Amino acid sequence: MSLVALLKNVITSWQVLAVTIGIIIYLFIVTAAARGSSGRPRAPKMSKPKLFKKKDKAPAAAAAAPAEVTDSDENHVDDLGIEEA
């Protein structure tokens, strides 16, 4: 058998034709479902949060100032019982 005749027999076999028809039907159903779902109203889009907002310089300067350390804060134990240095 020549290669061309073998390819012709494979392509025209009932298994290949059944799978091809099945794929075509599947794609038809998927595209019909996609078209049908695009008609639904969508949820409103949320605006993107602004990551970098301008802050007043006064609160930033106050936050940058180091806090006073007292003797009681020096060996502070947190809620988990871990001693902080």
Residue pLDDT, tens place only, 18-51: 999 999 999 999 999 988 876 666 677 777 777 7
Rounded distance between C-alpha atoms, residue 58 and residue 64, angstroms: 10
Residue pLDDT, tens place only, 44-60: 777 777 776 666 555 55
Rounded distance between C-alpha atoms, residue 23 and residue 19, angstroms: 6
Kindly tell me the sign of the dihedral angle through the C-alpha atoms of 7, 9, 12, 16: negative
The pLDDT value recorded for residue 76 is 62
The pLDDT value recorded for residue 39 is 65
Which has the closest alpha carbon to 10: 25, 24, 19?
Answer: 19
